[in-house]
Chains A and B, each alone.
Chain A
């Protein structure tokens, strides 16, 4: 069996998720034993547009991005969304919280209307094209990335959790962040990160997005119980726009 040809593309993002792939260091050799990268701006200089798997990093923020991602989708047999910007829109969706022009002026000041700075409301990759595989997180987890790549290599469906972060947080033996009077997004956010933030003294920021069926009504109730408001909760959710 020939190795699948893989292309990695970046859209609006910090490229930190690609960096996580580079950070695999010695394991990159293993990675190369099952895939053949044919296009990867951050990791190689060769370039080919003949690929089986497209890995997409970043969110869709300009009209030309939409066009580009549609073309990639046409070519790719499997399309993978890599990291929060691609899977849920991520921090780039912050600009969707006000009039576009205000956002442009804030960032570009008097130059905001120059044509090369044209922008639009941020979209996740799935807002534009069909996504086959999601690799969640900000940044992605290296172990989960390699696990998913191996699953794809073996023709197996990866097992991505559809349960809240609380599951992994409890397994880790952590004290619940609500006991510290913090709003933690853990009860509604998809696990798979190993509850990294709560295990290191922070609340869950929500970078992996909602579970498939988050109980938002229950979240409202909980805010009241802990002397918080829905506004407090919404502010916490805004960061990753889950």
Chain B
């Protein structure tokens, strides 16, 4: 839909303008790391980040959200549709959002997720710095060419901004002193994509991704599940930092009249001991190794069989978040592919 080129100074002025226009959530520093948070000043935006602590999924599926409040006369849905701009989503995280878009509209359309998603304008930005455990380059999730509202790429001292939707186009039209990008600019971006594909290979994935569902299917009794699970705290950290994990738990809390109340949902994780506990206290994945295997089956087999794409985007957050150092999907995928 058209790509513009703009100087750093005018880019910042544009970001400032967007902040005045809508609620903007953007990447900012937190100690020596980065996180998505409410962006109050353009100068706080850190598009040079390597990875955020939590993925931007939290803006569509918050860690805890009220679904509805209830009382004796019925219930009130708590759907939140306030428009917002999500600034600085890396391509691999955007791929994860695209996957959630599919999953949350399959069979049961999740109105909470979809309302937030429709209210969002997503500004993707190309990767400037490589995080220590990245491997999206092996998966083809190192850059994206469609689906975004806007795509921002830093080329030298300028920014290239491409619009990919009407929403994006509208925001882009607010940019001052922007010129049409020339063929030379576009080829600079292609060069960056090519480079990023190679750089985003910190963890060495040898397994063929297309053959993973079959390989996992044959690896049900592989010894690796037990070996790794023995060291598992069942803390769910790998689930909770994952951009493609979307499981949640639903709970009610009553008000003081013990009649009215609220129903909330919050993130859950299949590695947590009682994730699969149902009525009657029956836990159908009681063993750590069953839970451990299940997670990789979800990423490499079950979800891919639903959506036609591996449900791991190679961000490497799980690898860093696991205190026990057992949550590296690359290690697992390589092992089952070799078996």
- Residues on A lying within 8 angstroms of B by beta carbon are 30-31, 33-34, 147, 150-151, 153-154, 156, 159, 162-164, 166-167, 170-176, 178, 186-188, 211-215, 217-219, 221-222, 225
Contacts and interface: CB of A to CB of B under 8 A. Distances in A.
B240 interface: yes
Closest 5 CB pairs of A and B: A166-B235, A170-B240, A171-B63, A30-B256, A187-B233
A23 to B, nearest CB: 17
Interface string B229-241: 0111111110011
Nearest to B317: A170
B324 interface: yes
13 contacts: A31-B256, A34-B256, A162-B273, A164-B235, A167-B269, A173-B53, A176-B321, A187-B323, A211-B273, A215-B233, A218-B232, A219-B233, A221-B231
Could you say which interface size class chain B belongs to?
35 or more
A187 B251 CA distance: 23
B31 interface: yes
Given A151-B254, A217-B231, 11 more contacts: A150-B258, A156-B254, A163-B236, A166-B323, A167-B269, A171-B64, A173-B30, A173-B35, A188-B233, A214-B233, A215-B232
B273 A222 contact: no
A221 B324 contact: yes
B328 interface: no
A211 B271 CA distance: 14
B162 to A, nearest CB: 30
B256 A163 contact: no
A143 B69 CA distance: 18
B274 interface: yes
Interface in B203-260: 230-237, 240-241, 251, 253-258
B274 A162 contact: yes
Interface in B173-210: none
A163 B30 contact: no
B266 interface: yes
Contacts of A147: 253
A91 to B, nearest CB: 25
Given A30-B256, A150-B256, A163-B273, A225 B325 contact: yes
Interface of B: 30-31, 33, 35, 53-54, 58, 63-64, 230-237, 240-241, 251, 253-258, 266-267, 269, 272-274, 288, 321, 323-325
B273 A212 contact: yes
A175 to B, nearest CB: 6
B251 A159 contact: yes
A164 B272 CA distance: 9
Contacts of A222: 323-324
A176 B323 contact: yes
B33 A167 contact: no
A156 B30 CA distance: 40
B25 to A, nearest CB: 12
A159 B252 CA distance: 10
B283 to A, nearest CB: 11
A153 B63 contact: no
A171 B256 contact: no
B291 to A, nearest CB: 12
A60 to B, nearest CB: 29
Given A150-B256, A163-B273, A222-B323, A175 B31 contact: yes
Most buried by A among B63, B234, B267, B272: B234
Given A170-B241, A187-B323, A212-B273, A218 B231 contact: yes
A178 B256 contact: no
A150 B58 CA distance: 30
Given A164-B235, A166-B235, A218-B231, A33 B256 contact: yes
Contact of B273 (A31, A187, A213): A213
Contacts of B54: 170, 173
Contacts of A218: 230-233, 324
